[in-house]
Structure 1
Amino acid sequence: MTVAVSGANGFTGRFVCAELQRRKIPFVALLRPGSDVSWMAAREIPVRFADLTESHQLAEHLRGCRALLNVASIGFGAAPSILQACHSAGVRRAVFVSTTAIFTQLNAGSKTVRQAAEAAILASGLQTTILRPTMIYGTPGDRNMIRLVQWINRWPVLPVFGNGRSFQQPVHVTDVAWSVVQALESPATIQRQFNISGAEPLTYNEVVRITAQALGRRTRRLHIPAQPVVSLLNFTEGLGITLPVKAEQILRLNEDKAFRHAEAQETFGYAPIAFQEGIRQEVSLFRAGRDGLSD
């Protein structure tokens, strides 16, 4: 019996597909209608099209599957539909990817949606596992660390809003993908939730320093008091003016985001790579113009 992967076309989802192929686990990708499937055709990945908010449609495509790996974001309100589809299709086992952002102290718009989704998953009666990655990075397609890589590669000075001492714990995308599949194959993860974080917490200043070293660049950090900038951005956002940086992003940068992954290590052998190694890999792919999935 095959495994269904929702969100298979996303950044993390593509690596989950690669991990399933590496382990020779049969699976099918669930994609939104109209998605580009050219890369999947090249890798001979079977595809089914379904809207995750349409439970009846989704259930039809889940029939005959032994499990669901839901890598698609649960921050858009589709969790109840997905759970209903699993019940209708007789899929009892599911692994859901959430995020450690549910623990933020900020009033992020998606926080309550994700918390409600997790509550629904836990109360669903299915055999579920919830994985909560920290900030995911690893290739030029990550939309996170690549922005810092590009800036440091181009400019000798980096503006830092705040003192740069808040903790970050980026996790490599291959570690997340491995965890998703390993959790599926580990019965001890059923009815459990796990934080999936990088090897160790680092201050933002350390992240900048290590990234600059990987690039072979000298970078001077220009620290700018965060609160005046946040106030200014809140004002401009209230006027409907869109700027490249949002107030919430600066507040998040100055919030500690260090999370222990000891439970994942003890339960299913999770052992993430060090940030120094992960960012070296990303820099190498960045310079080679590769996506990390072509090998």
Structure 2
Amino acid sequence: MTMSITIIGASSGPGRMLYEALLGDGIPVTGIARNPRNIPTNSTAQFVQLDANDTAALARLVNKNTLLVHCSRPEILTTLIARKPDMSRLIALGSTRIYTRFPDDKCARLAAMSHAIWMSEIPATLLHPTMIYGAPGLNNIERIVQMARMSPIIPLPNNGESLIQPVLASDVVKAIRACIDNHSSIGKTIAVPGKSPTTYRRFVELCIEFSGEKCRVVSIPITLLSLLAPLTHLLPGVPVITQDEVRRLLENKDFSTEDLDNLSIEPVALDVGLKSLLFEEKPKSDI
């Protein structure tokens, strides 16, 4: 019997993009999500509407011929693995957040998922992307653009000099597909960063520039930003900023692209990806 691909979290983010890419190539795939969100289907691609928190039902959907791609919350996979499901392979999407010096609840859930994967007997690959942008349902870029529309300034600590390495969602999908095709990825934890590091300030400035907003980045002391962050809960329309996010603004989050090189993937440069993404979203009268 031919191996089938099943995607948990197929209604948004990289999971949605992977599902549609496999559908477009005529590769048999089953998408699982709580909300169908107009997910297309055809003779080779089917969608199962299911709350993935129901891991008992989820376990019944996989078998020894299933290659499971997990693109949803880490605790769902942790619970599913505890049920000892029978599957051919597992490719799980985590996050480089797991490496932070300022761990939060999400880090704990990522660590628990990683532990569950490597303690199981499932042939697995674990992918840790950096900040993902350019996928349906993700709002990393939208939060910055929204703030630029609401305020003449965006404050960053330490002049925004900390390094980040955002990765375009389509590159994450390429990495997943490369792992599907490349069995040598089994047993590995793979970092999936963008092409090269940039400062947080430059990242925000590019978002402002390509969205056409009139806003500037200003440097403020970390102590002041920490005091202002709780107030974002009180301001309608302003993205909420947590204390954990403020602390992580001071942390360098740059990673080697060696793992992607080994998969023959060259990530898209940040300025190219952002320009394409934000120009596509602008009304034509604004371009």
Q: What CA distance in whole angstroms lies between the structure 2 residues aligned with 1:157 and 1:55?
A: 45
Within-5 A mapping of 1:266-281: 266=262, 268-281=263-276
Q: What CA distance in whole angstroms lies between the structure 1 residues aligned with 2:82 and 2:71?
A: 17
Q: Is the 8 A contact 1:54 1:81 kept in 2?
A: no
| 1:124 partner amino acid | S
Q: Is the 8 A contact 2:125 2:179 kept in 1?
A: yes
- 1:17-38, Cα deviation, whole Å (9 max, x unpaired): 1222243321001123xx2342
Deviation for aligned residue 1:178: 1.5
Partner of 1:57: 57
Q: Is the 8 A contact 1:139 1:286 kept in 2?
A: no
Partner of 1:292: none
Deviates more, 1:181-190 or 1:148-157: 148-157
User: 209, 214, 225: which is aligned to 1:229?
Assistant: 225
Q: What CA distance in whole angstroms lies between the structure 1 residues aligned with 2:205 and 2:228?
A: 28
| 2:11 partner amino acid | N
Q: Is the 8 A contact 2:11 2:39 kept in 1?
A: no
SS in 2 for 1:78: helix
Instruction: Give the direction of change, closer, same or farther, for the CA distance of 1:153–1:280 in structure 2 (3 Å limit).
Output: farther
Deviation for aligned residue 1:10: 2.2
Deviates more, 1:251-260 or 1:146-155: 146-155
Partner of 1:7: 9
Within-5 A mapping of 1:91-130: 91-130=87-126
Deviation for aligned residue 1:129: 0.2
User: 192, 205, 212: which is aligned to 1:209?
Assistant: 205
* 4+ runs deviating over 6 angstroms: none
| 1:59 partner amino acid | A
Instruction: Give the direction of change, closer, same or farther, for the CA distance of 1:217–1:30 in structure 2 (3 Å limit).
Output: closer
In structure 2, stretches of 5+ residues that fail to align are none
> Normalising by structure 1, what TM-score?
0.84
SS in 1 for 2:218: strand
Deviation for aligned residue 1:9: 1.1
Deviation for aligned residue 1:39: 3.1
> Normalising by structure 2, what TM-score?
0.86
| 1:220 partner amino acid | R
SS in 2 for 1:113: helix
> Is the counterpart of residue 78 in structure 1 residue 80 in structure 2?
no
Instruction: Give the direction of change, closer, same or farther, for the CA distance of 1:44–1:281 in structure 2 (3 Å limit).
Output: farther
Q: Is the 8 A contact 2:36 2:49 kept in 1?
A: no
Q: Is the 8 A contact 1:65 1:91 kept in 2?
A: yes
SS in 1 for 2:159: coil
> Is the counterpart of residue 246 in structure 1 residue 248 in structure 2?
no
Q: What CA distance in whole angstroms lies between the structure 2 residues aligned with 1:23 and 1:222?
A: 46
Deviation for aligned residue 1:186: 0.7
Within-5 A mapping of 1:175-190: 175-190=171-186
Aligned residues with identical type, % of pairs = 23
Q: Is the 8 A contact 2:97 2:130 kept in 1?
A: yes
Deviation for aligned residue 1:220: 2.6
Q: What CA distance in whole angstroms lies between the structure 1 residues aligned with 2:165 and 2:273?
A: 12
**CA RMSD, 1 decimal:** 2.7
Partner of 2:165: 169
Deviation for aligned residue 1:188: 1.0
Number of equivalences: 278
Deviation for aligned residue 1:115: 0.6
